[in-house]
Structures are given as structure tokens and as C-alpha cells.
Structure 1
Amino acid sequence: MLASASTTMNILRFHGCYRLQPRFSHFSHNSQPTSRKNCRKYTHSNVSSLSNLSHSQFPVSGTNSKLKRAQVSEIGAPLWTWKDDENEVTSSSEDLSMNGDVYQKTLRLVECSMFAALGGLIYILSSSLAIENYFGCFFALPIVFSSMRWDIVAGRKTMVATAILLLVLAGPIKALTYLLMHGFLGLAMGSLWRSKASWGVSVFVSAIVRAAGAMGYVVMYSFLIRENILALITINIHASVTFILSSLGFLVIPSMDVIYAMFGTLLLLNCCFFVFLLHLLYALFFTRLGMKSSLRLPKWFAKAI
């Protein structure tokens, strides 16, 4: 019997029928609570053990003192609010309105570009069809209109844009010819009319600008054809004056200084008549457009209109 019992025990041990307990077990099978009192004791002991463990492993005294010293900073102003967004929307709507700054600048730029394109197109077509002498009085009109419509800066931008357009499409000769004969004249007239100058001052100054442009035009073509056109003009004037004096019975030969003075006087008179006609034409045009209040017209012309 003893031998059989020992063999069965050996078999059970061999097949692992014994239940082994874990090495580190906090709760054994016999220590489970069976009543409410035991359960309360058990939870109290566990909580106390956990608190002891936390006090032993993680000291809190230093952190508490640091937390006591720490202070919460005051809340500052927010970086973005709904009011800022509303202000941006209202400012953008005001800029894009009819009286807004952005709208007015855009409108001025568009009008200047349109007037420059119109002036350049008319000048190219007139030069190509050889009718420049018939439409020459309208070449300075876009510059004067831009100056009267906006300001002197707009007139200057129109002149420069037209010259650049002619430089690209027709070459530098056409661009320089436009500037000397019509561009600077239109800018001078627009500036004087914008500043409400009298017609006497405006006609005289514009005539001087036109005469200077004509002299520059003569010098430019003299350089291009390698011939002194101004000398040819003065020699012909000298010969004509000498012939007239000799035919009248005056045996006098005028000097070249007198000839130059006569040439300058005739050129200035020609420019004065041309500029005066431009003043009449442009004043009538602006009056028909409803811009009479921005013009300083002579009394006789205002009564005639």
C-alpha cells in the first residue's frame, strides 16, 4: 500500500498537478475578505500602504513649496478679435467704394492708360496715312484731359506711357518727335490750366515750350541726315530779306544776328497762333463735357459760349 501511494504521488508530481503559488503575491487565497468589516480593514490597509509608498518614493514637500511660490500670470489682450475682422471688412469696403482711395487710384491708372493708348494709336495712324498735319491739334488733347481730370502727375504719366508705346511700336524717332512737338506742349498746357493760370500766361509759356520743341526737332533731324538744317533755313531767310530790301531800293545787307532774331520772332509768333487756337479748341471741348467750372476762361470767350 505504501509503495502504491508513493508511486501515485510521484506520478502527480511528474504531471504537474500541484498548484504552485506565485513568488511575489500581494493577496493570498486565505487573505481574501469574507465580510464587510474585513473588507473595510482591507481597503484601509491598502490605502495606507499606498500612501506610505508614495511618501517614501515621491516626496511632495518640495513640489508643494514650488507650487505655493508659483503665481498665475495675468491674461493679456487677445491677438485677434472679431472687432479686428469687422474693421478690416469695413476698411476694405470703404476703399473699394466710389469715393475710396483704392478705387480712385485704380480709375486714374486705367484712364491714363486708355488715353495713352488712344493718343499713340491716333499718332501712328496719322503718320502712316500722311495726315499728321490735319490731326496735329488733337495729339496733345489726351495729356491735357488727364491733367484736368486728375492732376499734373496723371498728365505726365499719360505722356510717358504714350512715348513708351510709340517707342515700342514705331521706334525712337517717332517717340522723340511726339515728345518734342506735342508731348511737352500738352503737359505745359495741362499744368497751367490745372493751376488756373490766365490765358495770357498760358499761351506765352506754351508757345515757348512749342518753339523749344520745334528747335529740338530740327536739331534731331539735322543729326540724322548729317546736314545743318538750321543753317540752311537762316541762309534762305537772309537771301530772301536781301532780295526784298534790294527790290525796295535799300542797299543794305542784314547781318546774321538780325536774321537769327527774325527767325526766332517768326517761330515764336507761329507757335503763339497755334497755341491760341489749341486753347480755343480745347476750352470748347471741355465746356461741352461739363468741365467749365474747372476752367479759367476769358470773359469774351465765356460770353461767346
Structure 2
Amino acid sequence: MLTSTTMNLLKVHGCHRLRPPISHLSQNIHPTHHKSKLSLVSSASTHSSNPHFRIFTTNSKLRNVRVSETGTPLWTQTDDREENAYSPEDLTMNGEAYQKTLRLVECSMFAALGGLAYILSSSLAIENYFGCFFALPIVFSSMRWDIVAGRKTMVATATLLLVLAGPIKAITYLLMHGFLGLAMGSLWRSKTSWGVSVFLSAIVRAMGAMGYVVMYSFLIRENILALITINIHASVTFILSSFGFLAIPSMNIIYTMFGTLLLINCCFFVFLLHLLYGLFFTRLGMKASLRLPKWFAKAI
């Protein structure tokens, strides 16, 4: 009776010690760890004649462990090696980076030169003597690089004049010299004949001159164009009366005469620019990129 009671107490005590820790382990330990612990217990029980169940306690640090999903890293050493191997900056004479840098530097230098020459000429009142050279940097940039480079030179020069001399000087440069240089550079870059180039450039110059007159008419609050046409009308009437003609021309005829004279003046000016710039580019060794007339090519 005593032995049976002792065995029952041991069984109850063993069950009380065994079951709660196993349930505690099943709640706090990852299933893989639980399976590994049970496999160790089962292997130990099979090899020993008197099995002893060991209770494994979990570490408090393992309870807060969370398994995060691994993603692709933002940077790897392999990517760095591939970037250094396959995308170097080509700084040779014919490299793309060198050519872009050279074009940017030349456009900046030409813009600074054109802006400085225009400011000095305006300050010293010698603009009429050096006015034929103000469009040269834009034409040279267009011929050496492309039309985009010429446009950048024109914009950079106008911006420089805007900062140093004010908006009036900048607008005057664009109307009288900037757009003319861009038109000539574009036409010469496309190797247009001199006849078409002179005519189109003269139209651009005439439109710029008209814009210049309108701008100063707004600034001084006086219609300069009306004053010019009235003076032309009075001069034509006086000439006709001196020859014995009593006819008075209408204002439409005066406007037509004014536009024709302006266009002829611009044609002569642009033609002289073509001769001067053609000679200048030929001396610089750029004759192959020019489309010169036969008589001019033979003369030089």
C-alpha cells in the first residue's frame, strides 16, 4: 500500500513537472527549435535505459527576436566595380566630355568678348565704327560647333549686358546684332547660297531696326516712325516740286519707299558682313566649311 501510494505521488509529481514547461516552450520557441529539442529528448530516451526528461528553458533575449525579410542591398561592391569599369569619363581630345567642356568654354569666352566690346564701344561712342564685329562671335560659334552653340553665345552675351549695362543695352544688342549673327550663322552652317543668305539676313536686320525704333519711341514717348515718314514725305514733295511736278505722294507710297530704302540699306550692310566674315574665316582655315561664291573664292 505504501509503495503504490509513493509511485502514484511520483507519477503525479512527474506529470506536474513535465507538462507545463513543454507547453511554455511551445508558445515561446520557434517550431523549428521545438522540434530540435524534442528530437534531442527522444534520442536521449532511446539510448538510455532509464530515461530522464530534461527541461530546456528559453533565453529571454530570444523572445524578442523577429525574423525580417531580406531585400536587395542598395549598393554592392560588384556594381561599383562595373560602374568604374564601363562608364569612365573620356577626357581625350576626341572624347565627348572634352568636346562639351571645350564648347562651353569657347561660348563663354566669345560671349564675354562680344559683351565687353559692345559696352566699350557704346561708352566711347564708337559703336558705328565697330558695329560690324558685334555679330562675329555668334557666327563663329555657329560655324565652329553648331547652331545651339551660337544661340547660347547670343543669350550669354545678352545676359552679360543685362547685368552690366541694363535691359536697354541688352535689347538693343539683340535687335541690331544678336538676331542677325544667329541668322547668318544658321544659314552659313546649313551652307546656303550667298544670295539667299544676304536676303534673309537683311530681312532679320530690318525687322530688328524696326523693333529698335519702336522701343525708343516707347521710351521717349514720341512716335519716331511717324517723324521719319513725315520727313521723307516733305523731302519727296520738295524734290518733285523742284522738278516742276505738282503731285503730292500719298502716305502709302512713302511707307513703301521707307521700307524699300531700309531693306536696301540692310542688304548692303549684310553683304559687307558676308565679305568680311568670309575673308576672316578663310584666313582661319575654315574655307572647307564655307560655301563661297566663285568670284570671291578666286579673289582671295
TM-score interval for Structure 1 and Structure 2 normalised by the shorter chain: 0.7 to 0.9
The amino acid of 1:57's aligned partner reads R
Counterpart in 1 of 2:250? 255
**Paired-residue identity, %:** 84
| Corresponding position of 1:74 | none
Partner of 2:112: 117
Tell me the equivalent position of 1:297. 292
- 5 Å-filtered alignment, 1:1-305, equals 56-57=53-54, 80-81=77-78, 85=81, 88-89=84-85, 91-93=87-89, 95-305=90-300
Which amino acid counterpart does residue 257 of structure 2 have in structure 1? M
Which protein is bigger by CA-based radius of gyration? 1
Distance 2:85 2:95 in 1: 14
Q: Deviations over 1:107-154 (max 9, x none)?
A: 111111110000000000000000000000000000000000100000
Structure 1 vs Structure 2 CA RMSD: 2.3
Q: What is the alpha-carbon distance in structure 2 between the residues aligned to residue 129 and residue 145 of structure 1? A: 25
Structure 1 counterpart SS, 2:156: helix
Q: What TM-score does the superposition give when structure 2 sets the normalisation length?
A: 0.75
Q: What letter is aligned with 2:100? A: K
Distance 2:283 2:85 in 1: 40
Structure 2 counterpart of 1:157, which letter? K
Summarize the Cα distance change of 1:80–1:273 in structure 2 as closer, same or farther, 3 Å threshold: same
- SS in structure 2 at match of 1:92: coil
CA distance in 2, matches of 1:279, 1:198: 11
2:88 partner SS: helix
Q: Which runs of 5+ in 2 are unaligned?
A: 1-43, 57-74
* Shift in CA distance, 55/123, structure 1 to aligned 2, threshold 3 Å: farther
Aligned residues: 237
Cα–Cα, structure 1 residues 186 and 56, in superposed 2: closer, same or farther, change >3 Å? same
CA distance in 1, matches of 2:209, 2:78: 64
Rounded Cα–Cα distance in structure 1 between residues aligned with 2:289 and 2:86:
33
- TM (norm. structure 1) is 0.73
Distance 2:171 2:190 in 1: 27
Q: Which ranges in structure 1 are unaligned for 5 or more consecutive residues?
A: 1-47, 60-77
The AA in structure 1 aligned to 2:286 is M
1:88–1:234 Cα change, 3 Å: same
